[in-house]
Chain A
Amino acid sequence: MSTTTDIRQALPVGTWSLDPIHSTIGFEVDYLAGSFRGQFREVAGKVTNEGDTPVLTGSAKVASVDVKDENLAAHLQSPDFFDAERYPELSFESSDIDRADGLVTVRGGITIKGVEKPVVLTGTIAAPIIDYTGSEKLSVKLDTTVDRTEFGVNWNVPLPDGKPALADEVKLSAELFFVKEA
């Protein structure tokens, strides 16, 4: 069991705002013979490490999904997929953060299409750097895999052999850059 000191050391102290321009939240899912990737252009997030328990939150606007085909982008907004009209955001909030040997493990709840499920994100966290303006920057990279059908994202189509064209397992990847608030 972690002590308060251990948890606080998992992340640098302070409140850190997400730099949305340099951050990416993307997804990767097996489709037909390969993998299909996309990302969300509008993302938000924050790391708060002021009290006993650090908290990482993040969100992405469904409407900002970025894929190479406009028809697919529109289809992803529809009830077949994310149902953006009713559930305009995907979100995450951590409940527990551990760090060991340069690796970070973030447990929390992810909400997709209005359904919240527990999830474990793993990745790396770099030591903060000071940029040329004197502001402190922090980089966090996290991955996880979810079963989209647990969130009601069920669209599929059978291939001639009867197998589904689109996998249920979806890898979510976040490359997050934070700026320390003054």
Chain B
Amino acid sequence: MKVLAISGSLRPDSYNTKLLRAAEELLPPEVDFVLYQGVKAVPPYDEEDDLQVVPMSVAALRSAIGEADAVLFATPEYNASIPGSLKNALDWVSRPIETNTLRNKPVAVVGASTGAFGAVWAQADLRKVLAAIGARVVEGEVAVGHAPTRFDENGRLEDESLREQLQETLDSLLTEANTRALVLA
């Protein structure tokens, strides 16, 4: 079982990337967790560029999603929605629409913000976008507000209820991935 983790924040010390790392700690040891680092290299979407050989950064992202059994997204909230860089990367992945590598892929969305609300609007928008692309979006929301105060020096989520919500979301994601494996077998 391979879970690909994609952070919507490009900042090296991102709270959303920390949230993904916290999720890694909660996954069973047999799960192969891979944090994707290449979103920043994806160029602006241009359909003309999509007709020929696509940029390597795009091919790599499509391929990484295709090879994963499930994808976990963590998004910050920029101007009440998801970061443009994340939406742009997903627009690339969504093509071709009928066979894109997110189609039927079990995905989960969590989020962190420095404000009080934990990127709930961005999470809702990201779920909508992923569903429109054809992904299998699992239930569950983890909204980590006041993110600078939520992690200990080892990156562990200190809040017990948030950790439980994250665990439940991960459990749902793995259940969907296992169900899909059975359907495809």
Residues of A near any B CB (own CB < 8 A): 70-71, 73-75, 77-80, 85-86, 155
Contact = CB atoms under 8 A, between A and B. Distances in A.
A10 B137 CA distance: 46
Contact of A78 (B103, B180, B184): B103
B97 A71 contact: yes
Nearest to A75: B132
A86 B103 CA distance: 12
Contacts of A85: 104, 180, 183-184
B48 interface: no
B136 interface: yes
Contacts of B184: 85
B118 interface: no
A75 B98 contact: no
A70 B136 contact: no
Interface of B: 97-98, 103-104, 131-137, 180, 183-184
A40 to B, nearest CB: 16
B183 A74 contact: no
A79 B103 CA distance: 9
Contacts of A71: 97
Given A78-B103, A78-B104, A78-B131, A70 B97 contact: yes
24 contacts: A70-B98, A73-B98, A74-B97, A74-B98, A75-B132, A75-B134, A77-B98, A77-B103, A77-B134, A78-B103, A78-B104, A78-B131, A78-B133, A78-B135, A79-B131, A79-B135, A79-B136, A79-B137, A80-B131, A80-B134, A85-B180, A85-B183, A85-B184, A86-B183
Contacts of B183: 85-86
A78 B180 CA distance: 13
Contact of A80 (B97, B132, B180): B132
6 cross-chain pairs, A with B, having the tightest CB-CB distances, nearest first:
A78-B134, A74-B97, A85-B104, A80-B131, A79-B136, A74-B98
